Amino acid sequence: MSNHPEPPIGDEADLIRSAQAGDRSAFATIVDRYWERLYRWLCRLTRDASTAEDITQETFLKAFAAIQRFQAGSNLKAWLFRIAHNSFVNQRRAIKNNRKPLVPEIAEDPKNPVGEALTKEAMLLIAEAVAKLPSDFRGALVLRIDERLSFRDIAEVMGITEETARWRVFKARQKLMGLLSPDLLPAKNEPMSS
Amino acid sequence: MNCSSLRSRLLALPDPTAVSDSVAAHLESCASCQAWHRVLVQVEYAVASVTVPRSDGKKKREVLAQFRTAKANKPKSKPAVSPQITSTPVIAEKAVKKSKSPVSPAIPRTPLGERLARMWPMGLVAAALLVGALAWSIKKSPETAMAKAPSDPMLKEVVAAKIDLDRAHTGADRIKVLAKLADTIHEEARTLSKVTPDEMNSLAAMYRKVVEEALIPQARSLNADERKATLPAYVQRLAEAQQLANRLAGESPAASGRALSEIAEVAEAGRIELAKLIQGRAS
Ligand SMILES: [Zn+2]
């Protein structure tokens, strides 16, 4: 579902090793590789493009400062997202006060395995419903759906337990279904009990 | 499985399109859940289809330029943006350079204590940076973690200790610096003892390194008069450290408790060794 193919693991280990040994161009490759996906997630988390870009930049500078501490064998993507999430949490209050909310948009031709595509209106309804989720739930859901992170990695990114990560994704989906089902399901359907 | 529990199960799946046989069987026989499941899957795809504003790429270019123009392997100056953030790697690089071999990343999942042990011969700062990292980086709560890492107090202490060591002219001066560093690690262990057992283990290993491989050898290098003048104060400090670590070990969860007990043992062995040195009973 993600738009980003996973980089080969061996290649990434080499990059990290080089960056840790002081090779800045190796770090530049890491920046290049992860910038867009971090920016995208932060956009959805902050709902403000300029803040998302600032935090993306900050994330990579902090990652560079801390690259020696990155443990070989750990998940680089989760590590970067965690730094980004920490920065987001630190700025959350300021973001709330200054945000000019993003108007959600839907890709022109979303792939849909079910065959019967949702109407543009339904898609927008979903996008708006996601934007209205509390950021902790939205962040977890998007990490799961967009980045295909495991619950364990989501937990690592957000500094929570794996069970909490699973619960946040569960609740996010449940909220969305609660909001959307009346619009999208046949009227005879039984409502979801919580 | 009734419809409600089936739907709860679907909501908790990593991927709602990948269902177990029992779930699939229910879906096949229940039109209502089938429709509900279809919506759930479509919602997932709709979430993935949300676009975000395209950036002008300026910030990314700035960051990339910073790393691409810098001479690889021999960064001479801090990157232009935010000197606070970038001061750490400069120190780290210096430490690594001084040790004459690059810090090679450890084998995956090697216990951190072992990594520290391997780092040790390469220089105090390289090893200690790792400790600073342990104590203050990504393991901490989101509110206090990375944003504060650059002004990491543990890191400052360790770097300060390294600078003080370079400046120290006498063995007694060096002992002073090392004992202070040991105290700092001990203090760090105290504050972390109730939350992060892994970090505790690493701090215990670091404490052992500083006391056994730096402090005691320095003490041995003193002559008899210097030992009598200098060491009693450290015997006292190690005794206090031992006592405190023992007490905390009793109050902490098992994993942290073991690490604190190790610190207490190291402090005790150090105290006994120093006492012997004062009495001239050890070489
Ligand atoms: Zn059913």
Confidence check: pLDDT of B11 > 80: yes
- Report if residue A191 sits inside a domain: no
pLDDT at A73: 84
Backbone angles phi, psi at B49, to 5 degrees: -95, 0
Among the ranges A24-38, B133-147, B190-204, B236-250, which has the highest mean pLDDT value? Answer: A24-38
Asked if residue A8 and residue A33 are part of one domain, the reply reads yes
Tokens of A59: 């994330």
Closest Cβ opposite residue A65 in set B8, B42, B150: B150
pLDDT at B115 over 50: no
The reply to whether A194 falls in a domain is no
A178 touches chain B (CB under 8 A): no
The first and second tokens of residue B67, run together, are 């790393």
Residues A90 and A116 in one domain: no
Of the residues A68, A82, A116, the best mutation for testing chain B's interface (the one with the most B CB atoms within 10 Å of its CB) is: A68
Please identify among residues 13-52 of chain A the ones whose CB lies closer than 8 Å to any CB of chain B.
Answer: 13, 16-17, 20-28, 31-32, 35, 39-40, 43-44, 49, 52
Asked whether residue A86 is assigned to any structural domain, the reply reads yes
- Residue B137 or A164, more confident: A164
Residue A98, burial from CB neighbour count under 10 angstroms (0-12, 13-18, 19+): exposed
Residue A104: inside a domain? no
- Domain stop point among A65, A96, A127: A96
Q: What integer is the mean pLDDT of A65-80?
A: 88
- Residue B191's pLDDT is what? 66
In a shared domain, residues A91 and A6: yes
What global pTM score does this model have?
0.53
Give the separation between CA B82 and CA B49, rounded to whole angstroms: 35
Question: What distance lies between CA A138 and its chain's CA centroid?
Answer: 8
Together in a domain, A141 and A72: no
Block residue for tokens 């209050």: A93
Q: What is the mean pLDDT of chain B?
A: 67
Report the amino acid identity of residue B72. Answer: A
Contact of B134 with B140, CB cutoff 8 Å: no
% of chain A exceeding 70 in pLDDT? 74
Among A38-52, A176-190, B20-34, B154-168, the minimum mean pLDDT is found in B154-168
CB contact under 8 A, B60 and A73: no
- Interface contact A43-B53, CB threshold 8 A: yes
A43, A77: one domain:
yes
User: Do residues B155 and B88 make contact, with C-beta atoms less than 8 angstroms apart?
Assistant: yes
Q: How far apart are CA B16 and CA A190, in angstroms?
A: 19
The residue range of the domain holding A132 is 112-184
B91 contacts chain A (CB < 8 A): no
Cα–Cα distance for residue pair B218/B151, rounded to 1 Å? 30
pLDDT, one tens digit per residue, over B190-247 is 666 555 666 677 778 778 877 887 788 888 888 888 888 888 888 888 888 888 888 8
Three-state secondary structure readout of B13-67:
CCCCCCCCHHHHHHHHHCHHHHHHHHHHHHHHHHHHCEECCCCCCHHHHHHHHHH
- Nearest CB to A123 within list B46, B64, B143: B46
Residue A193 lies in a domain: no
pLDDT in tens, B265-276: 998 999 999 999
Interchain proximity A67–B89, CB inside 8 Å:
yes
Residue-range domain boundaries for chain B: 3-49, 86-279
- Judgement on whether residues A144 and A80 belong to the same structural domain of the protein: no
Q: What is the pLDDT of residue B152?
A: 36
What pLDDT band is residue B124 in, cutting at 50, 70 and 90? very low
**What is the mean predicted confidence (pLDDT) over A41-51?**
92
* CB contacts, 8 Å: B103 with chain A: 20-21, 68
Q: Which residues contact B155 (CB under 8 A, 6 or more apart)?
A: B88, B91, B128, B129, B132, B133, B136
Q: Indicate if the alpha-carbon torsion angle B76, B87, B187, B119 is positive or negative.
A: negative
CA B13 to ligand 1 center in whole angstroms: 17
**Does residue A33 surpass a pLDDT of 60?**
yes
Which of A96, A130, A160 lies at the terminal end of a domain, its last residue?
A: A96
Structure tokens at A74: 């750990």
pLDDT of residue B135: 37
Tell whether A72 is within 8 A of chain B (Cβ): yes
Query: What are the two backbone dihedrals, phi and then psi, of residue B96, each rounded to the nearest 5 degrees?
Result: -65, -45
Same domain, A120 and A92: no
DSSP string, chain A: --SSPPPPHHHHHHHHHHHHTT-HHHHHHHHHHHHHHHHHHHHHHHS-HHHHHHHHHHHHHHHHHHGGGPPTTS-HHHHHHHHHHHHHHHHHHHHHHH--PPPPEE-SS---TTSSPPPHHHHHHHHHHHHHS-HHHHHHHHHHHTS---HHHHHHHHTS-HHHHHHHHHHHHHHHHHHHHHHHS-TTPPPPP-
Q: Residue A140: which CATH number?
A: 1.10.10.10
Residue in A closest to B128 by C-alpha: A69
The per-residue pLDDT for B95 is 31
Asked if the structure places residue A46 within a domain, the reply is yes
Do the domain assignments include residue A54? Answer: yes
Same domain, A153 and A65: no
- A179 touching B (Cβ < 8 Å): no
The more confident residue out of B187 and B216 is B216
Picking from B178, B169, B180, B276, the residue whose alpha carbon sits closest to that of residue B227 is B276
Position B182 pLDDT exceeds 90: no
Residue A106 lies in a domain: no
Complex prediction ipTM = 0.82
The rounded distance, in Å, linking the Cα atoms of A34 and B230 is: 54
Is A184–B42 a contact, with Cβ atoms under 8 angstroms apart? yes
pLDDT score, position B195: 52
Neighbours of ion ligand 1 (CB under 5 A): B 3, 30, 33
Test A170 with B93 for CB contact under 8 angstroms: no
Encoded tokens for A163: 């069970």
At B222 the pLDDT is: 84
Q: How confident is the model over B130-157, as a mean pLDDT?
A: 36
Using CA coordinates, name the residue in chain B closest to A82: B138
CA distance B15 to chain A (A): 8
Q: Does B67 touch chain A (CB under 8 A)?
A: yes
Whether pLDDT at A37 is above 80? yes
Identify which of B16, B50, B108 has the shortest CB distance to residue A72: B108
pLDDT at A131 over 70: yes
CA B248 to chain centre: 20
**Residue-level pLDDT at B111:** 37
Shortest CA gap A93–chain B (Å): 12
CB contact under 8 A, A150 and B14: yes
Mean per-residue pLDDT over chain A, rounded? 81
B243 CA distance to ligand 1 middle (Å) = 63
Best-predicted range by mean pLDDT among A39-53, B98-112, B170-184?
A: A39-53
On the question of pLDDT at B139 being above 50, the answer is no
pLDDT tens per residue, range B37-89: 988 998 898 888 888 888 889 989 988 887 776 444 433 333 333 322 222 22
Q: How many domains does chain A have?
A: 2
For residue A2, give the chain B residue with the closest CA. Answer: B48
Question: Rounded to the nearest whole angstrom, what is the distance from the C-alpha of residue B33 to the centroid of ligand 1?
Answer: 4
Calculate mean pLDDT across residues A108-123: 62
Q: Percent of chain B having pLDDT more than 70?
A: 60
